[in-house]
Amino acid sequence: MSKYDAIVIGTGSGMIIAERLLRDNPDSRIAVIDKDMAGGICLTKGCIPSKLIISPAEVLYDLENLSEFIDAEVKGVYFRKIMERMRNKVDSESEMIERSLKELDRMDYFKAPAKFISPHTLEVDGKEIRSEKIFIGSGSRLMVPKIDGLRNSGYLTSDSLLYLEDMPESLVIIGGGYIALEYGDFFARAGCDVVIIEMLPRILSNEEPEISRLVHQELSRHAEILTSHRVVRVEEKGEKKTVHAKGDAGKKVIEGEEILVAVGRVPNSDVLQPEKGGIETDERGWIKVNDYLETNVKGVYAIGDANGKYMFRHVANREAVVAYMNAFHNAEVRMNYSAIPHAVFCHPEVASVGLREDQAIGKYGRENILIGFEEMKSTGKGQGLNAKGFAKIIVHKESERVVGAHIAGKSASILIQEVATVMSLNAPFHAILHAIHIHPALSEVVSWACGNLMSVDDYHKMIEREL
Task: Indicate the pTM of the whole model.
Answer: 0.95
For the stretch 300-312, pLDDT in tens is: 999 999 999 999 9
Fold adopted by 150-263: FAD/NAD(P)-binding domain (3.50.50)
For the chain, helix, strand, coil in percent to 5 are 35, 25, 35
Q: How many beta carbons lie within 10 A of that of residue 280, not counting itself?
A: 12
Picking from 311, 280, 266, 6, the residue whose alpha carbon sits closest to that of residue 303 is 311
For residue 1, the model assigns a pLDDT of 87
pLDDT at residue 466, as a whole number: 72
- Mean pLDDT of the region 214-220: 97
pLDDT of 83 strictly over 90:
yes
Superfamily of chain region 2-142+266-329? FAD/NAD(P)-binding domain (3.50.50.60)
pLDDT for the residue numbered 438: 96
pLDDT of residue 335: 97
Residue ranges, comma separated, of all CATH 3.30.390.30 domains in the chain are 348-466
CA pair distance 452, 459, nearest whole angstrom? 10
Q: Of 81-85, 185-189, 248-252, which gets the smallest average pLDDT?
A: 248-252
What is the tens place of the pLDDT at every residue in 163-205? 999 999 999 999 999 999 999 999 999 999 999 999 999 999 9
**How far is Cα 252 from Cα 429, in angstroms, rounded to an integer?**
47
pLDDT over threshold 80, residue 328: yes
Report how far residue 252's alpha carbon sits from residue 230's, in angstroms, rounded to the nearest whole number: 10
Nearest Cα to Cα of residue 390 among 372, 417, 414, 366: 372
pLDDT number for residue 467: 64
CATH number of 348-466: 3.30.390.30
Residues of the chain with CATH 3.50.50.60: 2-142+266-329, 150-263
Q: How confident is the model at residue 465 (pLDDT cuts 50, 70, 90)?
A: confident
Helix (H, G, I), strand (E, B) or coil at 385: helix
Model confidence pLDDT, tens digit, residues 256-301: 999 999 999 999 999 999 999 999 999 999 999 999 999 999 999 9
- Quick check: helix, strand or coil at residue 92? helix
For residues 231 and 197, what is the distance between their CA atoms, to the nearest angstrom?
8
